[in-house]
Amino acid sequence: QVQLVESGGGSVQPGGSLRLSCAASGFTLDYYAIGWFRQAPGKEREAVSCIRSSDGTAYYADSVKGRFTVSRDAAKNTVYLQLTSLEPEDTAAYHCGKISSAYGTTCSVVAASYDFWGQGTQVSVSS
């Protein structure tokens, strides 16, 4: 059974930091890219970051470049997203997703290209 479980969210003030985790089971990160998306109430799911399984290269949305960093720990089958310099606009539920087999090891900014998702972890940034 494929399962993705996010953790690490919380409430912080602007400028604060959080480290999100995406623990995967039922498949190996060696063969599937993992994407991070966020979704605020009433808005579409937005691509934030993605890490390729083939070579570990990363994608970042322009809005988070220089502030967020994605990494992976193959031994733990876990992907991390380090959030720094958080802004109120970053407030959302953050989800990790497993890329579908059609995409192989590549990343995608299209939510429909991911076939499994975690339940999400809430990030709230306010003063």
User: What pLDDT shows up at residue 104?
Assistant: 79
Across the chain, what does the average pLDDT equal? 96
Question: Parallel, antiparallel, or unpaired for β 34-39 and 46-51?
Answer: antiparallel
Task: Give the per-residue pLDDT at 56.
Answer: 87
Question: By C-alpha distance, which of 74, 61, 76 is closest to 31?
Answer: 74
Question: Could you read off the pLDDT of 24-43 as tens digits, one per residue?
Answer: 999 999 999 999 999 999 99
Average pLDDT over residues 9-15: 98
Residue that wins the pLDDT comparison between 55 and 27: 27
